[in-house]
Amino acid sequence: MLRFLVEASGCLTSHYLIAAIQQAGHQAIASDIQEEIAARHMADDFILMPSAKDPLLWEKTIELMRSHRIDVVIPTFDDTLTGWSERKELFAAMGIHVMISDHHTIKTCTDKWLTYSHFKNHQLPMPLTSTEQVYPLIKPRLGRGSAGVRVEQNAVAMQGHISQQLLQGREYTVDVLVGINRKPLCIVPRYRASVREGKSIVGVVEISDETSRLVHKVCESFTFKGPVNIQLIDDVTQGLQVIEINPRLGGGSALAFAASTNWIPAMIAIFIDNIEPKIPPVQNGMKMYRYYAEHFVN
């Protein structure tokens, strides 16, 4: 039985990952910078983490991983992805498996300008992008989610930002599990049929050959390993374009698990056993409905 660290467990979507770890026969160790979170009572143990801005973040994290006997980390918090990838070998020497792609890949994908440069060099489709205010859509280079993203007509200071061509069309999220040879083992495209407060509350799996071909090309150009979350838009004039890559599990990846299989045993096979797991066919058309639920503690 392995002890898995679940990052940022105060997030309203963390429960699916805790449940998946437990259903696979392992222990889920919730963690957050706040103590009063529901996940603390759903998981097998809880770690109060330092803030990502703490200058001693990694010294404290290393000690917490040791004292709580963590065996596996699945990084899901954007602010610490680079830090985990930088220290994979350090944690491996401690007997801790960090389930994330290599540092160069993480650095490229978490910086939107580096991502665009990579796509341009590999002739992959992505909206035109600049570090100057050339296009109307303004994004932080290192931002996460939709924070700081806006359409701007007035002049703005562009330091730490990019401007990007504004596209129109249906957006998709593609959850991808990449094996030991950079090949996608599972591709689950989904669209958000309903959104509330920035979170998908109704998601639908929609498989297409075009999406699959694009995902394979993207994966061939990177050295991904494990879970990857690719954001697409089917533009009305340009067709499928990649708008962002998150080299981690996403909040809506619960649908990918349900439509295929619990990815936790598969990730153990990839990162620990160094073998390619077999993934069953994805169930096209599966829907996910999300709702708030209560958890009571005396």
pLDDT in tens, 261-297: 999 999 999 999 999 999 999 999 999 999 989 999 9
Average confidence (pLDDT) over 207-234:
98
DSSP 74-116: E---HHHHHHHHHTHHHHHHTT-EE-S--HHHHHHHHSHHHHH
Q: How many CB atoms lie within 10 A of CB 116?
A: 21
> 117-172 pLDDT, tens per residue?
999 999 999 999 999 999 999 999 997 667 789 998 889 999 999 999 999 999 99
On the question of pLDDT at 67 being above 80, the answer is: yes
Judge whether 100 and 88 are in contact, CB under 8 Å. Answer: yes
What is the average pLDDT score of the chain? 96
Q: How many CB atoms lie within 10 A of CB 32?
A: 21
Element (H, E) at 117: helix 112-121
Element (H, E) at 192: strand 184-196
Using alpha carbons, select from 293, 269, 202 the residue that is nearest to residue 19.
293
In this prediction, residue 198 carries a pLDDT of: 67
In this prediction, residue 199 carries a pLDDT of: 73
The vertex-133 CA angle with 52 and 234, nearest 5°, equals: 80
**How large a percentage of the chain has pLDDT more than 90?**
91
Spatial neighbors of 215 by CB under 8 A, at least 6 apart, are 174, 176, 184, 187, 230
Domains of the chain listed by start with CATH number: 3-100 (3.40.50.20), 128-166 (no CATH), 169-289 (3.30.470.20)
Judge whether 284 and 207 are in contact, CB under 8 Å. Answer: yes
DSSP state of 173: E
In this prediction, residue 5 carries a pLDDT of: 98
In this prediction, residue 153 carries a pLDDT of: 86
d(CA 168, CA 223): 30
In this prediction, residue 82 carries a pLDDT of: 97
Query: Which one has a higher pLDDT value, 208 or 198?
Result: 208
Of the listed ranges 47-61, 76-90, 194-208, 233-247, the least confidently predicted one is: 194-208
Of the listed ranges 103-107, 132-136, 199-203, 284-288, the least confidently predicted one is: 199-203
Q: How many CB atoms lie within 10 A of CB 128?
A: 15
* Residue 70 vs residues 51, 92, 102, 217, 246: alpha-carbon distances, Å: 19, 11, 20, 35, 24
